[in-house]
Structure 1
Amino acid sequence: MKLVRYGAAGAEKPGLIDAKGDLRDLSAHVDDIAGEALSDATIGRLAALDQASLPLVPGNPRLGPCVGSIGKFMCIGLNYSDHAAETGAAIPEHPILFMKATSAVVGPNDTVSLPRGSEHSDWEVELGVVIGKPAKYVSKEDALDYVAGYCVINDVSERKFQTQLTGQWTKGKSCDTFGPIGPWLVTRDEIEDPQSLAMTLDVNGERRQTGNTATMIFTVAEIVSHLSQLFTLQPGDVISTGTPPGVGMGMKPTPVYLKAGDVMELWIEGLGSQRQSVVMDA
């Protein structure tokens, strides 16, 4: 199933994309694509609905973030062997964890606004993992059972803020609009192997990133298990699992960064596409 949230920012309604690609309203069945709606029981109930009988949503409404009421927005750094190589970083012994402020979350096609004075903002296509039920001390073998589904995430990053403002990476990762999520949440039953998904990112029509989740250093199962040893993962928590090579700061001989007027287009196999125009904060 492809679950979506549509409508004006802050007032999104729950929906799904049917087999024909049409948007259907789920408001009579769940309040939001969040919390309890992400449980196996509720997802099973929604999957059993006659999609053709659901109200058809007319027009082409805005798609919001595919998950509402996100509790924790966790990100894994340097999790692709080929990306670590391009940055000159050593392969980490354990997953590198940093947090992204939930205020950064926007829809998949919303505008990305660079903070004042930004000259080092970068792109990162990433596989997003959405937790469906509480997970604590979960084994690697059982970890995927706690996943509600998967989505596309653009982990937009201001590299100077990230590395030169003294402190943690969170500073460069949490600027407003730096967390586009969606277009939809694809339930885990539709993704046979999260470690075999192709992904791309273009800037202004030029291919910048080409990768596959097969080159992740830590698998989705290993990440979920590892994090659950540290703290409880809750329904609606989001994990962004790292990016393949091709980021702007890794370009040779001179890094290339985002500027006003740029357009980013992201795609992950089976999970859909995003498109963001870039502007500069006033």
Structure 2
Amino acid sequence: MKAAQRSGRVVYAGAVHACVPHARGLQLEDGRVLAEDEVQWLPPFEVGNIIALGLNYADHLKELSAELTVGVKDEPLVFFKSPGSLLGHRGRTERPAAVAMMHYECELAVVIGKPARQVKAKDAMACVAGYTVCNDYAVRDYLENWYRPNLRVKNRDAATVLGPWLVAAEAVADPHALGLRTLVNGQLKQLGTTANMVHRIPELIEYLSAFMTLSPGDVILTGTPEGVVNVQAGDQVLCEIEQIGRLANTLSLETTRCPT
């Protein structure tokens, strides 16, 4: 794929820059070439509403079947996340010290490119600008009900990692035929395919746009396959989606901060 079909955003020398991939890392719009570790990565686009799907993979539903109150025939399980939950590629996510189970979730993130209101599924893909990789952490200790995820589970600061690149929709022939995998400290832990989505992208856009307007920059996090495991402070997590990219993230221990 041509570099122009991938775009990102980074902070370098005190300013935000658009960038594209380069053989040596990334290239800023002014032509400077930098290594990945020379910049602070941001989510690769200006994010609007963050709309997340729970339990949207058939294998993940089966994996959790003993705990569920929702099945494959129910309408999509949707919830919102706040801007403070976002983090870029190579960022650090804090893990609360007292919790027993915190896990990653490798997800295909769908980015809306134009306003969508009451769009039918057959027309929905025309509203998609592109895709990126998401790692959406969850703290299972705080889960009160699988059908109603609460804020402490899924809306934690810097626990929704996006990037590194926004890949143009036209560069991905079939977003429902992409392999996903997650490695923790270099060891494969999660392996799946977007073919196992319960509610596919056109159906999700039709469902959401029936009662709310989707705007450019809104992002739909489409859920994760089976294979989530507990992660600890110090772990390095790499989420990969075929044709989309490799998103790196590190866990650190949660720290207490006092107001200044």
TM-score (norm 1): 0.81
Q: 1:92 to 1:8 in 2, by over 3 A?
A: farther
Distance 1:170 1:146 in 2: 29
- Tell me if structure 2 keeps the 8 A contact 1:114–1:280: yes
1:48-106 Cα deviation digits (max 9, x unpaired): xxxxxx613334323221122x2211111111101100000322421110112220100
What amino acid maps onto 2:203 in structure 1? E
Distance 1:21 1:133 in 2: 33
Aligned to 1:86: 63
How far residue 116 of structure 1 moved from its aligned partner, in angstroms, is 4.9
What amino acid maps onto 1:262 in structure 2? D
Identity rate, percent: 33
Aligned to 1:57: 33
Counterpart check, 1:275 vs 2:248: yes
SS at match of 1:141: helix
What amino acid maps onto 1:224 in structure 2? I
Distance 2:121 2:216 in 1: 18
Counterpart check, 1:189 vs 2:170: yes
How far residue 153 of structure 1 moved from its aligned partner, in angstroms, is 0.1
Aligned to 1:24: 27
- Tell me if structure 2 keeps the 8 A contact 1:99–1:170: no
Distance 1:186 1:79 in 2: 22
1:91-124 Cα deviation digits (max 9, x unpaired): 2421110112220100121011113523221111
Distance 2:13 2:159 in 1: 15
Distance 1:264 1:101 in 2: 22
* Bigger mean CA deviation after superposition, 140-149 or 58-67: 58-67
The count of residues paired between Structure 1 and Structure 2 equals 244
SS at match of 2:122: coil
TM-align CA RMSD = 2.1
Distance 1:128 1:114 in 2: 23
What amino acid maps onto 1:213 in structure 2? T
- Tell me if structure 1 keeps the 8 A contact 2:24–2:33: no
Q: 1:9 to 1:232 in 2, by over 3 A?
A: farther
* Bigger mean CA deviation after superposition, 59-68 or 271-280: 59-68
Counterpart check, 1:261 vs 2:238: no
SS at match of 1:202: strand
Higher strand share: 2
Distance 1:181 1:85 in 2: 27
Counterpart check, 1:162 vs 2:138: no
What amino acid maps onto 1:208 in structure 2? K
Aligned to 1:172: 153
Match of 1:112 among 83, 87, 93: 93
Unaligned runs of 5+ in 2: 256-260
Aligned to 2:82: 101
Aligned to 1:44: none
Distance 1:8 1:158 in 2: 32
